Amino acid sequence: MIISAATDYRAAAQSRLPPFLFHYIDGGAYAEHTLRHNVSDLSEIALRQRVLKDMSALDLRTELFGEKLSLPIALAPVGLTGMFARRGEVQAARAATSRGIPFTLSTVSVCPIEEVAPAISRPMWFQLYVLKDRGFMRNALERAQAAGVTTLVFTVDMPTPGARYRDAHSGMSGPNAPLRRMWQAATHPRWAWDVGLHGKPHDLGNVSAYVGKPTGLEDYIGWLGANFDPAISWKDLEWIREFWKGPMVIKGILDPDDARDAVRFGADGIVVSNHGGRQLDGVLSSARAMPAIADAVKGDIKILADSGIRTGLDVVRMLALGADAVLLGRAWIYALATAGEAGVAHLLDLIEKEMRVAMVLTSSRTIADIGPQSLVPRAQL
Ligand SMILES: Cc1cc2nc3c(=O)[nH]c(=O)nc-3n(C[C@H](O)[C@H](O)[C@H](O)COP(=O)(O)O)c2cc1C
C-alpha cells in the first residue's frame, strides 16, 4: 500500500492488526457521534488563504513547560500501545524523540516507565488516571519522578469508563472474547509473529510492577473497571500536587468553567479533549469547544487540544482556534501499527510538510502567528 498522507495509515493498520485491536483503536463510545464530529468539525473549518507575503523563512518551533519542541505537537497517551507494535511504547517514544517532540506514556501502557525512559534521549511525559487505589497513584508518581519524567498529564475525563459497543462486537470483550482473539491473531500472521510472539510480555507494565504479578488483557479490563473513581474532585488534585512538583497538565477539559477552575487550581496546562470520542458520546467536538475555552483562559494557562486531529492542516486549524499545541492520538497509533518507529517518524514528517504548506498559504511565519486571523471569519461562511 502506498502511504502518501497521514490518513493512509488507518487503512494500512486495519489490514495488519487483528480486528479486536483495530476496532479498539478506531472505535468510540456509544453511537460514535462525537468521534465522527471530532474529525468532521475540524476538517470543515475554512483556512484563510493569503498570498504574496514572502514566506521563505518558516519557524515551526515552540516552547512548552520549559521544553523546546521542534513542532507544536506531543504524542497523546494511549493505553495498550505495546499490543499494536512490538514494544510499541518504546518505538513511538523513539520516533517522537527523533523529531524533537514529547512522548506521553499512558498509565496503562504495556512497557513500564522504567523500560521507556532509558530508551530515549529526551525526558518523556507521563499520564496518570485518577484511581481508587491511591497507593498505585503515589507509586506511579514516585517511579515517574525517578525515571526523569518532566510533565504530568492528569486525565480527568474517565471517572467512569464510557461504553464502547464496538469492543463487544470485535472480540475485545463480550462472549467468547479470548477464543475470538486467538482466532483473529492466528489469521493475522504478521502481527502474531511480530507482536503476539516476540512482543512479550503483554503486561500492563506499570500496574504489574505495583501489584507484584503479571497482568494481562483480562486484568486490564477488570482492574481498570474496578478502579475508576467517580468521587474525584479538585480536592484530589491538591493531593497529587503534594507528590508532583513538576508541570501538571489537566487532560479532558471541554467547558470554559472547568478551564477557569484549572487556572484557579494552578495547573500549568489543560488539554481540551473528549478522549477522542471514547467517553461521553454527544458532547461537543474539541474543535467546537475550543473557541469559548480560548476566550476564557488564553494567556492564563497553556492550552493543548486533541480529538480528531489527523493531518497537519488540522494542527494549524486547532492552533488557529486557540490551542498553543496539540496532542496526536489515533494518527500516530495507526502509523505505529503499520510500520513501528519508522511509521511514526514518517507520519510526523508528513504532518510537518502539511503544516508548512498551510502556514505559507495562511501567511503564518511562526507558530505564534497562527490565530483567528488564519481562519475565514464565520460571517463570511
Ligand atoms: C486506543 C486508545 C487508547 C487511549 N488510551 C488513553 C490512555 O491510556 N490515557 C489517556 O489519557 N487517554 C487515552 N486515550 C485518549 C488519547 O490520549 C487522546 O485523547 C485521543 O486519542 C485523541 O483523539 P484522536 O485519537 O481522535 O486524535 C486513548 C485513545 C485511544 C484511541
Supply the pLDDT for residue 194.
96
Mean pLDDT of the chain: 95
Place of cell 489543560: 270
Query: Helices in the chain by DSSP H: which ranges?
Result: 8-16, 19-26, 33-43, 88-98, 113-116, 134-146, 165-170, 177-186, 189-191, 205-211, 217-227, 234-243, 256-265, 286-297, 312-321, 330-361
In short, whether 19's Cβ falls inside 6 Å of ligand 1 is no
What is the C-alpha to C-alpha distance for residues 315 and 134, in angstroms, rounded to an integer? 36
Closest atom of ligand 1 to 24 CA is 1
Residue 201: cis peptide before it, omega within 30 degrees of 0: yes
pLDDT-based confidence at residue 215 (cuts at 50, 70, 90): low
| Whether the predicted pLDDT of 37 surpasses 70 | yes
In short, whether 362's Cβ falls inside 6 Å of ligand 1 is no
Supply the pLDDT for residue 226.
81
**Interior CA angle at 111 toward 94 and 8, to 5°?**
55
What is the C-alpha to C-alpha distance for residues 274 and 262, in angstroms, rounded to an integer? 16
Q: Whose CA is nearest to atom 19 of ligand 1?
A: 275
User: pLDDT tens digit string along 284-317?
Assistant: 999 999 999 999 999 999 999 999 999 999 999 9
Supply the pLDDT for residue 69.
98
User: pLDDT tens digit string along 105-148?
Assistant: 999 999 999 999 999 999 999 999 988 888 999 999 999 999 99
**Rounded to the nearest whole angstrom, what is the distance from the C-alpha of residue 57 to the centroid of ligand 1?**
34
Residue 272 phi, psi dihedral angles, 5° rounding: -70, 115
In short, whether 76's Cβ falls inside 6 Å of ligand 1 is yes
In short, whether 318's Cβ falls inside 6 Å of ligand 1 is no
In short, whether 252's Cβ falls inside 6 Å of ligand 1 is no
Average pLDDT, integer, range 7-16: 97
**Rounded to the nearest whole angstrom, what is the distance from the C-alpha of residue 125 to the centroid of ligand 1?**
14
Which string of DSSP letters, residue by residue, matches 61-119?
Answer: -EEETTEEESSSEEEPP-TTGGGTSTTHHHHHHHHHHHTT--BEE-TT-SS-HHHHGGG
Which of 110, 153, 275 has most ligand 1 atoms within 8 Å of its beta carbon, as the pocket-test mutant? Answer: 275
Q: Which residues are catalytic?
A: 275
User: pLDDT tens digit string along 347-366?
Assistant: 999 999 999 999 999 999 99
Q: Whose CA is nearest to atom 29 of ligand 1?
A: 78
Supply the pLDDT for residue 179.
94
For the chain, give the percent of residues with pLDDT over 90.
85
